[in-house]
Amino acid sequence: MPHSSNIPQTNALAPIFVSHGSPMLVARQSTPAFNFLHTELPDHLDGAQAILIVSAHWQAPVATISTAQHQETIHDFYGFPDALYQLHYDVAGAPDLASTIAQKIGAKTDDQRGLDHGAWMPMILARPQADIPVFQLSMIENGSPADHFALGKKLRDLREMGVLVIGSGAMTHNLRALDRNDGPNADAWAEEFCQWMVENTKQHDVDTLLAYRSKAPHARMAHPHDDHLMPFYVALGAADDHYVCKTLHHSIEFGNLAMTALRFYDQETSIKAA
């Protein structure tokens, strides 16, 4: 796929945050989020020799990297149509590279772990040819936003190794509040929370972002639990200190499930991206 003219070549490995949504996303082919992941995100993967994904669905006591040669497709969800369990993302890992990164950042390794749906779902849409090695880095069990931001900072040099860092979670994630009928209107609280997150990100107010629990509007509604927002902090930490944040996509499904995607370009090469 040709590289998008809107993405500076020198920023081809700038970290990305995506909201991966419901497992049903792959079947809901008329949604704006599906269209983004399937038709726009692919351009943002060009130039990567390997992709490291931090998914909301893998937590470990300490940061852990998957070093499996073949990345098994993990169907870590229940009660969905059978067709979803037949999907497999047959992609290679990069054991030597993953082991090198683990040693570099002081992480453990797991040579059995595959890709959970927070990792393979966006990839099966964006890169169905599975021609870029993919492996995961776990979140830190019970880790704070500051812990995950610090973890992300350890990943800043990965661009020099040809590795693209992707955080895969959700900008809002409250399963009990979802409108299962998926009506056309988005809940105001979800939009307000997303706007607060994006505005503070673009203003580089990291201290405020790290304290989102006490400072963001509707934080408890947006995230009864922290897990789906922690990949955002890893991606933010992996960004250059003087990043320019661009919103790649924003839509809301099921009333309040925000499908926001952001990219953190280097300041000096981001004029075309801003």
| Residue-range definition of the domain harbouring residue 237 | 9-269
In a domain, 218, yes or no: yes
Contact partners, residue 175, CB within 8 Å, separation at least 6: none
pLDDT at residue 253, as a whole number: 94
pLDDT at residue 5, as a whole number: 40
Q: What is the rounded distance in angstroms from the CA atom of residue 72 to the CA atom of residue 116?
A: 8
In a domain, 245, yes or no: yes
pLDDT at residue 273, as a whole number: 43
Distances 92 to 66, 70, 181, 186 between C-alpha atoms, Å: 11, 5, 38, 38
pLDDT at residue 269, as a whole number: 53
Q: What is the rounded distance in angstroms from the CA atom of residue 63 to the CA atom of residue 6?
A: 34
Task: Read off the pLDDT of residues 138-188 as tens digits, 9 standing for 90 and up.
Answer: 999 999 999 999 999 999 999 999 999 999 999 999 999 999 887 778 999
Percent of the chain scoring above 90 in pLDDT: 84
In a domain, 125, yes or no: yes
In a domain, 145, yes or no: yes
In a domain, 265, yes or no: yes
In a domain, 1, yes or no: no
What is the average pLDDT score of the chain? 92
Helix (H) / strand (E) element for 17: namely strand 16-19
Q: What is the CATH number of the domain that holds 228?
A: 3.40.830.10
* pLDDT of 4 over the 90 cut: no
Query: How many structural domains are present in the chain?
Result: 1
Q: Which stretches does DSSP call E strand in 59-209?
A: 59-60, 64-66, 70-71, 91-92, 108-110, 134-136, 139-140, 163-169
In a domain, 215, yes or no: yes
Q: Are 134 and 53 in contact (CB under 8 A)?
A: yes
pLDDT at residue 29, as a whole number: 75
pLDDT at residue 2, as a whole number: 37
In a domain, 20, yes or no: yes
